Structure 1
Amino acid sequence: MNKTFTIFGGNSNTALTAELCDHLGISQGRARAERFSDGEIFVEIGENVRGVNCFIMQSTCSPPNRNLMELLIMIDALKRASAGSIVALMPYFGYARQDRKVKPRTPISAKLVADLLTAAGADRVLAVDLHAGQIQGFFNIPFDHLVATPVFRDLLKLEGLRGQEVVVVSPDAGGVERARLYSKLLDCPLAIIDKRRDGPNVSQVMHLIGDVAGKRAILVDDIIDTAGTLCNAAEAVLKAGATEVYAVATHGVFSGPAMERINKSVIKRIWVTNSCPQEDRLARCDRLTVVSLGPLLAEAVKRIHHGDSISSLFY
């Protein structure tokens, strides 16, 4: 019997793609993505996909430009092979931090990526914890925005990080909504750090709003990139009287000096998802724990394929 849906994987999330297929009980779609000697990307679909609902797993993490281009070419290849539908599964949506003009004569690159995905032929996009939820409005095709909260919620409770002796801390004003959700689910108070950003990957803690004295603090963020914001926030929280500092982030980008900073920081433990590959980072940081998005994404894929609601997965 012919397949009715299949999962294809780009080169950025090979382990997560394999796990997703295991959860769904299907074999991964055959596709070959290679580069010519000059760096051009070539994709060949190795099976019949006519009328098949195709899901492509590809985070646009480092190197973002190569992974994005590979995704676009794979979408185009499937479209020209008469796929029934094409859904881009992007656990980490690169360029999401460029969602507005921060200075005159600067781009809105997140909108450009949305246009590229649509022009390439994607029928639907799914991402986890966008840096700004409003990015969904850049798309004229259906967009499913999942959150990683269900993935972390039970884990944090098992670690005993709940109740009034714990405080959830947002490392900046933009993450307050996310931190408030964790605060509600863990039944604990909320604090906010007011920071000033002087340039890309450069931030300075200005004020701490809320009481953290005598509490175990959980810093909650969507992305850890160079870890400057996170480590500065952890120092500020500890100086304000917190007994321990933990961190939870959906996307562990960990670029530049990130791992070195984390190893020298006061943070006791960090949890991230596998939206970006973490195998090499685990060997370099014993404070890092990776939680899988596989079960969440597998359930989303099943519901999208069968036309069922996925709203219950949001929280």
Structure 2
Amino acid sequence: MLLLIAMPGNERLAAAIAQSGHWEIGALEARHFPDGESYLRLESVVSGRSVALICTLAHPDPQILALLFAARLLKENGARSVHLVAPYLAYMRQDRRFHDGEALTSRHFAEMLSNVFDGLVTVDPHLHRYHSLSEIYSIPSVALTASPFLADWARRNVEQPLIIGPDGESEQWASAIANAAEAPYTVFTKTRMGDRDVRVAATELQAWSGRLPVLVDDVISSGETLADAARQIVAQGFPPPVCLAVHGLFSPGADALLAGLGCKVVTTDAVPHRTNAIPLAPLLCEALRAQLGPAAERTT
């Protein structure tokens, strides 16, 4: 039977996946020495078993060494296979060299993970210039989509929604969610001036007067894109929108920025945050069963 082990901060998600799949949760002591180096101690028997490490990678740099060490530790203790469940997969945006001398970190990160894991399950990774994860990951990799879950939330909680994508990259989310929610959608355009400086140009919304705006995107980071889009929506006489996203990264001040504009923010539990209202455990459980096959249920 599959054994789940949560990296620090992922205990709630691991418990939800375990409950959904009727799997066990293993124990791993993880802490830091006074000098900041990682200490790991495996407290479960893993010999001959398939193991899934649960670790969303919203803040990857402080986590990645312990995660790689944990994967190696499991293999050294006889694990049949070690899979990674990372609902948010980091280092996907640097998918080409925009300037001379830049590191292509998406490929570097993929190589590191592929060297120690036997499989990867993630949700809505940033596949903008890559067609699939297999272009950079050499292990079986599943990219799930949370769009049906976001659409279901919008359908159940928003009366007469108008789905809006804040920029061209969000059209895939907006169209999929709108189709599933049986709602109209439109997409704004965006010009990025810097990491926190964006300009959103809104389309004319009066044709959908009376509908409630729902801004949808894959990631909320600085919040600037959604905030500028929200201002444009309110300027056209609509109420502040609901902001619906898969991954709520929320850099400092982002949630306060959106709340200050009157926006209700809703995210999945891919990244732990007070805005989590859409659980992904059933989706992740189904993907693990499909990826591992009989190994997910085999007893030792």
- Normalising to structure 1: TM-score of the pair? 0.86
Alignment of 1:131-280 (within 5 A): 131-132=126-127, 134=130, 136=133, 137-161=135-159, 165-208=160-203, 212-267=208-263, 269-278=264-273
CA contact (8 A) 1:212 1:241 kept: no
1:65 partner SS: coil
Q: Hey, what's the Cα distance between the residues in 2 that align with 1:257 and 1:205?
A: 20
1:12 partner SS: coil
Q: Hey, what's the Cα distance between the residues in 1 that align with 2:36 and 2:158?
A: 49
The match for 1:300 is 287
Unmatched tracts of structure 1, length 5 or more:
283-287, 309-315
Quote the offset at 1:112 in angstroms: 1.3
The match for 1:27 is 24
Quote the offset at 1:81 in angstroms: 2.0
1:198 partner SS: strand
Quote the offset at 1:76 in angstroms: 1.2
**2:117 pairs with 122, 131, 134, which one?**
122
1:188 partner SS: coil
The letter for the 2-side match of 1:296 is: L
Over residues 115-166 of structure 1, what are the superposed CA-to-partner deviations in whole Å (9 max), with x where a residue is unaligned? 11012x20111111112262612111111001112322322211244xxx43
- Does 1:45 find its partner at 2:32? no
CA contact (8 A) 1:49 1:78 kept: yes
Quote the offset at 1:258 in angstroms: 0.8
The letter for the 2-side match of 1:175 is: S
Q: Hey, what's the Cα distance between the residues in 2 that align with 1:307 and 1:182?
A: 33
Over residues 165-200 of structure 1, what are the superposed CA-to-partner deviations in whole Å (9 max), with x where a residue is unaligned? 432111111111121101111122221111111122
RMSD over aligned CA atoms reads 2.0
- Does 1:60 find its partner at 2:47? no
The letter for the 1-side match of 2:3 is: T
The match for 1:91 is 87
Over residues 192-229 of structure 1, what are the superposed CA-to-partner deviations in whole Å (9 max), with x where a residue is unaligned? 11111112232111343765544211111011112111
CA contact (8 A) 1:50 1:81 kept: yes
The letter for the 2-side match of 1:100 is: R
CA contact (8 A) 1:214 1:241 kept: no
What is the percent sequence identity of the aligned residues?
24
Over residues 33-75 of structure 1, what are the superposed CA-to-partner deviations in whole Å (9 max), with x where a residue is unaligned? 121221111222222222211101001123x212222211111
Aligned pair in 2 of structure 1 residues 243, 215: CA closer, same or farther (>3 Å)? farther
Equivalenced residue count is 291
CA contact (8 A) 2:142 2:287 kept: no
Aligned pair in 2 of structure 1 residues 307, 168: CA closer, same or farther (>3 Å)? farther
Over residues 74-108 of structure 1, what are the superposed CA-to-partner deviations in whole Å (9 max), with x where a residue is unaligned? 11111222211111000011222222223222222
CA contact (8 A) 1:30 1:47 kept: yes
Unmatched tracts of structure 2, length 5 or more:
296-300
Q: Hey, what's the Cα distance between the residues in 2 that align with 1:212 and 1:200?
A: 32
Q: Hey, what's the Cα distance between the residues in 1 that align with 2:240 and 2:255?
A: 19
Quote the offset at 1:230 in angstroms: 0.9
Q: Hey, what's the Cα distance between the residues in 2 that align with 1:52 and 1:242?
A: 55
2:286 partner SS: helix
Q: Hey, what's the Cα distance between the residues in 2 that align with 1:103 and 1:176?
A: 26
Q: Hey, what's the Cα distance between the residues in 1 that align with 2:98 and 2:199?
A: 18
The letter for the 1-side match of 2:43 is: G
The letter for the 2-side match of 1:26 is: W
